[in-house]
Chain A
Amino acid sequence: MKRKFIVGALLVAFTTLAQADITVGVTLSATGPAASLGIPEKNSVSLLPTTIAGQKVNYIVLDDASDTTTAVKNTRKLISENKVDVVIGSTITPNSLAMVDVVAEAETPMISMAASARIIDPTNPKTKWVFKTPQNDTHMSTAIIEHMINSGVKTVAFIGFNDAYGEGWFQEFSKIAEVRKLKIVANERYSRADTSVTGQVLKIVAAKPDAVLIAGAGTPAALPQVALQERKYAGKYYQTHGVANNDFLRVGGKNVEGTFLPAGPMLVAAQLPNDNPVKKSALAYTQKYEAAYGKGNVATFGGHAWDAGLLLEAAVPAALKKGQPGTKEFRAALRDGLEGVKDLPGAHGVFNMSPGDHLGFDQRARVMVQIQNGAWVLVK
Chain B
Amino acid sequence: MDLQIALLLGQDGITNGAIYALLSLALVLVFAVTRVIFIPQGEFVAFGALTLASFQAGKTPGTLWLLLGAGFVVAIVDLVVAWRRRKWRRVPAILGWNLVYPALMAGLILSIEPSKWPLLAQISLALALVVPLGPMMYRLAFQPLAEAPVLVLLIVSVAVHLVLVGLGLVFFGAEGSRAASFSDVSLDIGEFSITGQTLAVVLTSGVLIVVLYQFFGRSLYGKALRATAINRTGARLMGISTVMAGKLSFLLAAGIGALSGILIAPITTVYYDTGFLIGLKGFVGAIIGGLASYPVAAVGAVAVGLLESYSSFYASAFKEVIVFTLIIPMLLWRSLTTRHVEEES
Interface residues of A (CB under 8 A from B): 31, 35-36, 39, 159, 162, 188-200, 202-203, 206, 218-220, 222-223, 230, 245, 247, 250-251, 253
Contact = CB atoms under 8 A, between A and B. Distances in A.
Interface of B: 1, 5, 8-9, 12, 15-16, 19, 57, 169, 174-178, 195, 264, 267-271, 273-274, 276-278, 308-314, 316-317, 319-320
Nearest to A203: B313
A199 B174 contact: no
13 contacts: A36-B174, A196-B309, A199-B309, A199-B319, A200-B312, A218-B175, A219-B175, A219-B177, A219-B271, A220-B269, A220-B271, A247-B176, A250-B57
Given A193-B274, A195-B274, A220-B271, A202 B313 contact: yes
B316 A31 contact: no
Contacts, number: 101
Contacts of A253: 178
Given A31-B169, A198-B9, A223-B268, A251 B175 contact: yes
B271 A190 contact: no
B310 to A, nearest CB: 7
A247 B267 CA distance: 17
B312 A195 contact: no
A199 B274 CA distance: 19
Contacts of A197: 312
A200 B320 contact: no
A195 B16 contact: yes
B15 A196 contact: yes
Nearest to A38: B174
Contacts of A250: 57, 177
Contacts of B9: 198-199, 202
B75 to A, nearest CB: 31
Given A190-B316, A202-B5, A202-B313, A196 B175 contact: no
Given A196-B16, A199-B316, A200-B316, A222 B8 contact: no
A39 B174 contact: yes
Contacts of B178: 222, 251, 253
Contacts of B274: 193, 195
Contact of B177 (A162, A196, A251): A251
Contacts of A218: 174-176
B305 to A, nearest CB: 9
A202 B277 contact: no
A206 B5 contact: yes
A337 B19 CA distance: 58
B174 to A, nearest CB: 4
A197 B317 CA distance: 12
Chain B CB count within 10 A is highest, among A188, A191, A219, A250, for A219
A192 B317 CA distance: 12
Contact of A193 (B1, B8, B195, B277): B277
Contacts of A35: 169, 174
Contacts of B316: 159, 162, 188-190, 199-200, 203
Contacts of B277: 191, 193-194
A352 to B, nearest CB: 34
A197 B15 CA distance: 12
Contacts of A245: 175
Residue of B15, B178, B267, B274 most packed against chain A (CB within 10 A) = B178
B50 to A, nearest CB: 12
Given A196-B12, A202-B8, A206-B5, A162 B176 contact: no
Contact of A199 (B12, B19, B195): B12
Contacts of B317: 162, 188-189
Contacts of B314: 199
B320 A191 contact: yes
A199 B176 contact: no
